Amino acid sequence: MSGGLIVFLEIIAPLVILIIYGRIKIVRARRKAEAEETSVVAPMLPFNPRTEPTPGPLLRPFSTPQRAYLRQQIALGKACFYMLAYVCIVIFTSGLLPPYVNRDGTVLPFAERVWYSYLEHAAVAEIVIVIFMLVAAMIALGGLTNGAPAIFNRTRPLTRSFLFWARVVPAIVAILASLAVGIVASVVLLLIFYGPVWLHLHDAATVGPFLSRARYWILAHGLLQASAPRIFLSLATTALLIFSAAAVFVSQPFWSSGKRRMTPLVTFLSIFVGLSAARMIRHADLPSFSRWSDVLFVYATVGPPPPYTYVLVPILASTALLLIAQFCVARKEL
């Protein structure tokens, strides 16, 4: 079975399980309803809400309405986290599948093959991240900019800035945490199945003469200069940057409930823009783009990493974009 097929099956498996589970639930509910029709109807339980649980140290500084809203957003963040963490684990570990490890034959020594395949898949994950960040921004800010949920949220006694940051911060935490879980899980699996391969990389000068020119280039200019921590750091900063840019996009007036006819077009355009951005990132090693990819700390191919100092650029740009998004959401009319 090819590696691509395995990854595809891994990604769609939860969807299939969810569909089957949903179907079983519907059938059970229908049977229950049929059974209730033939028996005495149980009386409806009265409205007796539970008192608010004692807030933890994180929620204690907030007022009761703020806590109610934050609990909702944290629950949404958790759901996003589970989904994203699963996707990250699948993508980061896909490079460890034997079809990928041995994709280019056995010219490179084993440790190099494993490490190269692992890093390459982690770097390519930036493309998937772009799509997920667009969706995450739509989910996070849709509740303030569109339809009945936005009207409900914006007519509760909470400031607009609180409404915004209480949605954005849990979303960002969920994104970063899911990346961290994906990285940790993939490293653990790497250690379990292959051991600490990064400790066994050969020197390019020693191995070089025995390799073809192309393989030598990969080894000398790619693998041995690659920095795993920077690949993962770049994933986090790029995710943050894309999320913030998508947040600005979602908060624009054309993304409004009053112009629903535009929504399919705008959604299509956003996916198109996302895919184009993903393509640009994928080809970040092109000379015309490499400078910008360095400055934005985009590290999407195995090779020389961008300097650490540039990590501040996407963080500052994301902060600026989020402030713009907050301003736009606050001014947005429903």
- Interaction of residue 45 with other proteins, rule CB under 8 A: yes
Nearest CB to other proteins, comparing residues 66 and 234: 66
Instruction: Find the binder of other proteins among 147, 196, 229, 253 (CB under 8 A).
Output: 147
Q: Which of 99, 111, 131, 154 binds other proteins (CB under 8 A)?
A: 154
Give the distance from CA 56 to its chain's centroid: 27
- H-state helical runs in 195-282: 204-207, 213-217, 228-250, 263-282
Comparing CB distances to other proteins, the nearer of 71 and 215 is 71
* 44 lies in the binding site for other proteins (CB under 8 A): yes
d(CA 91, CA 123): 10
Is residue 47 part of the contact set for other proteins (CB under 8 A)?
A: yes
Asked if 195 interacts with other proteins (CB under 8 A), we say: no
Question: For residues 120 and 98, is the Cβ–Cβ distance under 8 A?
Answer: no
Q: Which stretch binds other proteins (CB under 8 A): 64-72, 191-199, 204-212, 313-321?
A: 64-72
- Binding range to other proteins, per CB under 8 A, among 93-101, 149-157, 203-211, 285-293: 149-157
Within 127-146, the residues that bind other proteins by CB under 8 A are none
Q: Is 308 in the site for other proteins (CB under 8 A)?
A: no
Report the run of H or E that residue 8 belongs to, with start and end: helix 3-38
Exactly one of 72, 227, 252, 290 binds other proteins (CB under 8 A); which one? 72
- Our CB check for other proteins shows the closer of 69 and 92 to be 69
φ, ψ (nearest 5 deg) of residue 315: -65, -45
Cα-Cα end-to-end distance for the chain? 51
Q: Select from 38, 54, 155, 206 the one that contacts other proteins (CB under 8 A).
A: 155
- Is 137:104 a contact under the CB 8 Å cutoff? no
Q: Is 41 helix (H, G, I), strand (E, B) or coil?
A: coil
Distances (CA, A) of 243 to 139, 168, 225, 315: 11, 9, 29, 12
What values do phi and psi take at 172, rounded to 5?
Answer: -65, -40
The only residue of 68, 107, 127, 313 in contact with other proteins, by rule CB under 8 A = 68
Residues in binding contact with other proteins, number by CB under 8 A: 30
Per-position b or e across 272-288, b if 16+ CB within 10 A of its CB: eebeebbebbbebeeee
Region near other proteins per CB under 8 A, out of 46-54, 165-173, 178-186, 199-207: 46-54
How far is Cα 178 from Cα 26, in angstroms, rounded to an integer?
31
Candidate residues 114, 134, 158, 171; the one interacting with other proteins per rule CB under 8 A: 158
Q: How far is the CB of 154 from other proteins (least distance, A)?
A: 6
Sign of CA dihedral 240, 245, 251, 257: negative
Among 30, 156, 260, 291, binds other proteins (CB under 8 A): 156
Nearest to 314 by CA among 234, 243, 230, 241: 241
**Stretch of 155-163, 188-196, 261-269, 304-312 contacting other proteins, by CB under 8 A:** 155-163
Point out which span in 95-103, 108-116, 147-155, 264-272 binds other proteins (CB under 8 A): 147-155
Calpha distance 105→155 (Å, rounded): 62
Q: In the structure encoding, which two tokens stand for residue 141, read together?
A: 């800010």
The piece of 157-165, 185-193, 240-248, 321-329 that touches other proteins (CB under 8 A) is: 157-165
Task: Tell me which residues touch other proteins (CB under 8 A).
Answer: 44-50, 52, 64-65, 67-69, 72, 147-149, 151-152, 154-161, 331, 333-334
